[in-house]
Amino acid sequence: MPVRLLILLPAFFLLLACASAPKEKPVLPESEPMKTVKHHDFFEQGISPEAKTAEGLFRRDMHEITEDEIDDLEHEPLTEAEKEALETETCFDFVLDARETQAMENYFKLYTHRYRNSFEIWLKRSETFLPYIRDVFEERGLPLDLIYLPFAESGFNTRAYSRAGAAGIWQFMPGTGRMYGLRVDWWLDERRNPFLSTHSAADYLEKLYGDFGCWYLALAAYNAGEGRVGRALQSSGHDNYFDLINGPYLAQETRNYVPKFLAILKILRNLEELGFEPINWDAAPDFKELEIGPGTDLLALSGAAGLSWDEFKDYNPGFRRQVSPSDARVKIMLPRSKAKAAANYLESPSAREFAGYHRYQVSSGDSWWRISRQFGVPINVLKNLNDTRSDLLRPGQYVIVPASGSQHGHTASTMDYAQSRGNYEVRRGDTLWDISRKFKVDMQTLIAANGLSGNTIRPGQMLYIPGRVQASSGGQAARVTTTYRVTRGDTLWDISRKFNVDVKTLTAANGLRNNTIRPGQVLNIPGSDAVGEQGLRTTVYQVRRGDTLWAIAARYGVCPGDLQVWNNISSGQVIRPGDELEVRIQD
């Protein structure tokens, strides 16, 4: 007996271990990028600080029903108007069972009673974007009730991040966003662009309806992912939404998704009867789209358009930096009333491409890692900007750095950079309020542009005023002299218009007897908006095979945009081997 017991005991413990071992999680197919993107991978792209803040706000904003609230909600009474609203039909012919009907009623009470103020905020937010979304969905022939889906997804919060990493009013995951044409990287998160993401959402909803053949399953798949819903159908043996949600095949959140959306639709169809202000379909600004070049200084652009940085971000929440990407021309949306001033700025010399970058001189002990930490710019972005794969840096070398790295933290480096490009010297008695009024720049924009943590400034401090030219030693913004090399077809009148200088001033500054100029001639442009370049010497570089403006700029530690200005190279113009370029470098 003891021998038999000794033989059976190991077998018993082996079976016990197998029984208690955790089951292997199902592996999702590669065809479902929305769910294969890991949460930590999303944050490793540098999104973590803003995502954590936005996610906390999003969770408080969305007010998911907790188990503790369900019992209270079920016992809350309904008014006669609310009972009638619950009977309202929608364009979706949803037939709900008793459990779903109760879930819908719970969400209805949640948004009309307990979190009524939040729903009112959502309604106001929606007015900016609903007319645009309606036009897109009408053109695509999609059910118009779907335009209200962002109420269930994000409360129309353009900066919303979920704990899983979904973002924007349509709550795209990174992989799904990229699959449907949205850029998600260190520079941009176009999931937060309500205009671009609306087209992507329409594409995705069309695809889901094509996959499942009914809107119930399409909406469940929008919430949970098509792979998960497809596998639930396969494992359950069911072929319809109603049977599927009555089993344990989908998460509770997904089973409640349709009742939640239906509750929102019923509220929206009865706003005035329920005591809400109706949606004002004429409240949205008349938007105009503008294209901007690589490296555009967005702070200066917003200031020139008469917008604070926060206002610019409200219209263009997809930008994650105060400078546009280095590798592409991108589009911005502005109210039409502000677009003309912005367009004028974009045509001015101070808005040349790559103006949103500056040169950083490498010091002893510097490394890519240290510079990355100082400016809040990932190492791979820095190396791409400087067209290098090398890990080596030498003291005295110049590297190109975006004018602003992360918008969260790094205020010291922002302050250092603002000092280096400062164009206004603070005088005794100055306050930020006075300076903002003087230069017609929003105070919050001034604080952001200079990396300030408060309103305190001191006499002698150099401030960067977005859109203003370099300051002189006396503290006044100086209109300095720059140079321009004449190209074929140029006239003095063209050049005077380009630099906003009178023709007579041009002829006098260059000792011209008449208006005749020749290609290659270098003209002095007095009083232009270009920044002075004292202490620089000029050298000539002959373009070699394989050279690019980026590579040449990186070699000399200058900005590509400066190369374009010095050599009158227009955007998109090709340089060829044998071309001679003027390069201005530090003595």
Are 465 and 441 within 8 A, CB to CB? yes
The closest of 132, 171, 164, 134 to 150, measured between CA atoms, is 171
Q: Record the tokens describing residue 231, joined without a space.
A: 């596998």
- On the CB side of 406, how many CA atoms lie within 13 Å of its CA? 20
Residue 161, Cβ density class (10 Å: 0-12 exposed, 13-18 middle, ≥19 buried):
buried
Are 279 and 127 within 8 A, CB to CB? yes
d(CA 402, CA 385): 9
Residue 93, Cβ density class (10 Å: 0-12 exposed, 13-18 middle, ≥19 buried):
exposed
Are 107 and 263 within 8 A, CB to CB? yes
Question: Does 67 participate in catalysis according to the annotation?
Answer: no
Collect all residues with Cβ–Cβ distance below 8 Å to 368 and sequence separation of at least 6.
379, 382, 383, 391, 393
d(CA 530, CA 478): 10
Are 182 and 197 within 8 A, CB to CB? yes
d(CA 167, CA 153): 10
Active-site residue, from 100, 153, 311, 353: 153
Give the containing element (helix H, strand E) for 442: none
Amino acid (1-letter code) at residue 16? L
Please report how the helices 215-224 and 226-236 are oriented relative to each other, as an axis angle in degrees rounded to 10.
120
d(CA 251, CA 232): 11
Catalytically active residues are 153
